[in-house]
């Protein structure tokens, strides 16, 4: 596995029917290939085959009616998304996604044959670990504001994917350039461990506030396949 190259990224984002990656389905899939000075962006609209809850539609702007009228079959969008990611990895590009465990778990749940076969860079995990004491939310919008990165239209899949790529560039070119020198396997292991540790920290924070954490679970990274209590 090669090191991260900010000039060769495949940024990816899903907008979906809900917040649980083990249950939701794809509504839009943004696939942004950045190779040298060339940027190729495409966005796929799917008919998820189920009702899109009003809450989800308010977030990304896609209603059930629009998806049914204009969307492609969910299976086709899922297959094209996975094929594009696999091709990017085969070509040596790094997959970039903000909170990658969510999007990749959606793919893994919908298509169990999907596996992580290349390098993944997750600005959400990096930010939470490297700047863990910063107050405030860690949404994509907040991260972009903090790092001075442009985001054109939050929760529009292509805009989110491009913003994640810009964050990855800033993080590896300006803020923490040592990340770009880490061997790919080491970078993947670092992010997986950081994800687990930050989840455990959050569990401890809730416990100190007196909240019941007996059912608090932490998923894996870059996919959340085995859910178990933190510390179990």
Helix, strand, coil abundance in the chain, percent, nearest 5:
45, 15, 35
User: From CA 157, how far away is CA 154, in angstroms rounded?
Assistant: 8
Could you give the 3-state DSSP secondary structure of residue 30? strand
Domains within the chain, CATH numbers bracketed: 8-212 (3.30.420.10)
Cα 141 to Cα 44: distance, rounded to the nearest angstrom: 22
- Determine if the peptide bond prior to 178 is cis (ω within 30°): no
| Per-residue tokens: 6 | 């900010």
- Digits of tens for pLDDT over the chain (232 positions)? 789 999 999 999 999 999 999 999 999 999 999 998 899 999 999 999 999 999 999 999 999 999 999 999 999 999 999 999 999 999 999 999 999 999 999 999 999 999 999 999 999 999 999 999 999 999 999 999 999 999 988 889 999 999 999 999 999 999 999 999 999 999 999 999 999 998 888 888 888 989 887 777 767 899 987 544 334 3
């Amino acid at each position: 596995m090669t090191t991260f190259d900010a000039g060769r990224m495949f940024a990816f984002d899903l907008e979906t029917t809900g917040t649980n990656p083990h249950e939701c389905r794809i509504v839009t899939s943004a696939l942004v290939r950045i190779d040298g000075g060339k940027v190729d962006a495409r966005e796929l609209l799917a008919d998820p085959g189920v009702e899109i809850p009003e809450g989800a539609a308010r977030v990304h702007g896609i209603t059930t009616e629009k998806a049914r009228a204009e969307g492609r079959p969910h299976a086709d969008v899922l297959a094209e998304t996975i094929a594009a990611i696999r091709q990017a990895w085969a070509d040596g590009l790094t997959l970039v996604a903000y909170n990658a465990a969510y999007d990749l778990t959606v793919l893994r749940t919908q298509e169990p044959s999907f596996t992580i076969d290349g390098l993944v860079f997750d600005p959400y995990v990096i930010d939470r670990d490297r700047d863990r004491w910063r107050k405030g939310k860690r949404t994509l919008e907040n991260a972009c504001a903090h790092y001075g990165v442009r985001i054109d239209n939050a929760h529009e899949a292509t805009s989110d994917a491009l913003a994640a790529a810009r964050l990855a560039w800033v993080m590896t070119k300006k803020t923490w350039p040592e990340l770009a020198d880490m061997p790919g396997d080491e970078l993947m292991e670092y992010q997986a461990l950081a994800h687990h540790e930050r989840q455990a920290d959050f569990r401890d924070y809730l416990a100190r506030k007196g909240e019941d954490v007996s059912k608090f679970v932490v998923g894996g990274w870059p996919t959340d396949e085995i859910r178990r209590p933190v510390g179990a």
